[in-house]
Amino acid sequence: MSIRNAAGKWEPMLLGIEPRACKVCKEGLYRDKTFLSGGWSRCALCEDFVHYTCLASGKVSFLKARPRVCKICRTAQEDSSSSQKSTTPVAVGS
């Protein structure tokens, strides 16, 4: 498919395809690899595309947590929340 520009020359109408890679497993996000395995989704925290299988699990292991968060962001959340809990002084008294 092509189109003419103002000078009358034919130019292809192909969009530039930028390859993307999942930041969790470092594999490409291509339809041939993800068609039967659920595809991909965007992480709600880091805004990167990751494979559906690289999203953090919810309460049931085969369902994904809402909002969609990748495994890397989930471990970072858990680490920061556990460090905040350990540094918070506990009130003791009457």
Say whether 78 sits in a helix, a strand or coil: helix
The CATH fold of domain 17-75: Herpes Virus-1 (3.30.40)
Query: Count of CB atoms within 10 A of residue 56's CB?
Result: 19
Give the chain's radius of gyration (CA, Å): 22
Q: Indicate the domain borders of the chain.
A: 17-75
Q: Which amino acid is at 59?
A: K
pLDDT at 1: 46
Asked if residues 67 and 43 have their Cβ atoms less than 8 Å apart, the reply is: no
pLDDT at 81: 82
From first to last of the 94 residues of the chain, give the pLDDT tens digit: 455 556 667 666 555 567 788 899 988 887 666 566 678 888 999 988 888 888 998 888 778 888 899 999 999 988 888 777 655 566 776 5
For residue 8, with 0-12 CB atoms within 10 Å meaning exposed, 13-18 middle and 19 or more buried, which class applies? exposed
C-alpha span between 59 and 93 (Å, rounded): 36
pTM > 0.75? no
C-alpha span between 52 and 36 (Å, rounded): 11
